[in-house]
Amino acid sequence: MLYRTFVLCILVRNTWSSSWKSEVEEGSKVHFPPWFKFGSATASHQIEGAWNASGKTPHIWDVFAHTVPGAISDGSNGDVACDSYRLWREDVKMAADLGLDFYRFSISWPRILPSGFPNHINEEGVRYYRELMDGLLEVGIEPVVTIYHWELPQSLQDLGGWTNPLVVDWYADYARVLFTLYADRVKTWITLNEPMVFCEATYTLGSHAPGILSPGIGNFLCNRHALLAHAKAWRIYDQEFRHKYHGKLALTNNLLWFEPDEGHGDEVAELVRELGAGMYSHPIYSKEGGWPPVIEKIIAERSRRQGYPKSRLPPFTKEEIKFIRGTYDFYGFNYYTARLARWAKPGEVLGKWPHFGTDELNISLVVKPEWKKSPLDWFIIYPEGIRRQMKWLKRKYGNIEIFIMENGLANIDPRLDDTDRVDFYREHLRQVLLSIYEDGVNVTGYTAWSLMDNYEWIDGYHSKFGLYAVDFSDSERRRTPRASAFYYSSVVRTGSLVLPATYTSYTASSSKNALSYITIVINFMLALSLIK
Catalytically annotated residues: 194, 406
Which residues is 406 bridged to in the sheet?
Answer: 334
Cβ atoms within 10 Å, residue 399: 11
The CA-atom distances, in angstroms, between 516 and each of 97, 489, 504, 505 are 21, 18, 7, 5
Strand, helix or coil for residue 291: coil
Cβ atoms within 10 Å, residue 508: 10
Amino acid at 235: R
User: If we measure between CA atoms, which residue out of 74, 80, 146, 153 comes closest to residue 114?
Assistant: 153
Give one DSSP letter per residue of 109-151, joined into a string.
Answer: HHHH-TTSSTTS--HHHHHHHHHHHHHHHHTT-EEEEEEESS-
Contact by Cβ (8 Å): 311, 296: yes
What b/e readout covers 259-280, taking b as 16+ CB neighbours within 10 angstroms? bbbeeeeeebbbbbbbbbbbbb
Give the largest CA-CA distance in the chain.
Answer: 74
Measured CA to CA, the distance from residue 492 to residue 36 in angstroms comes to: 10
Give one DSSP letter per residue of 149-160, joined into a string.
Answer: SS--BHHHHTTT
Amino acid at 240: E
Measured CA to CA, the distance from residue 254 to residue 328 in angstroms comes to: 16
Amino acid at 519: T
User: If we measure between CA atoms, which residue out of 308, 286, 287 comes closest to residue 299?
Assistant: 308
Give one DSSP letter per residue of 497-532, joined into a string.
Answer: SS-GGG-S---TTSTTT---HHHHHHHHHHHHTT--
Measured CA to CA, the distance from residue 357 to residue 298 in angstroms comes to: 12
What's the chain's Rg over C-alpha atoms? 23
Q: In terms of residues, how long is the chain?
A: 532
User: If we measure between CA atoms, which residue out of 405, 485, 487 comes closest to residue 447?
Assistant: 405
Contact by Cβ (8 Å): 49, 62: no
- The H or E element containing residue 368 is none
Contact by Cβ (8 Å): 377, 354: no
Contact by Cβ (8 Å): 59, 45: yes
Measured CA to CA, the distance from residue 98 to residue 35 in angstroms comes to: 18
Measured CA to CA, the distance from residue 236 to residue 391 in angstroms comes to: 31
Between strands 331-334 and 468-470, the pairing is unpaired
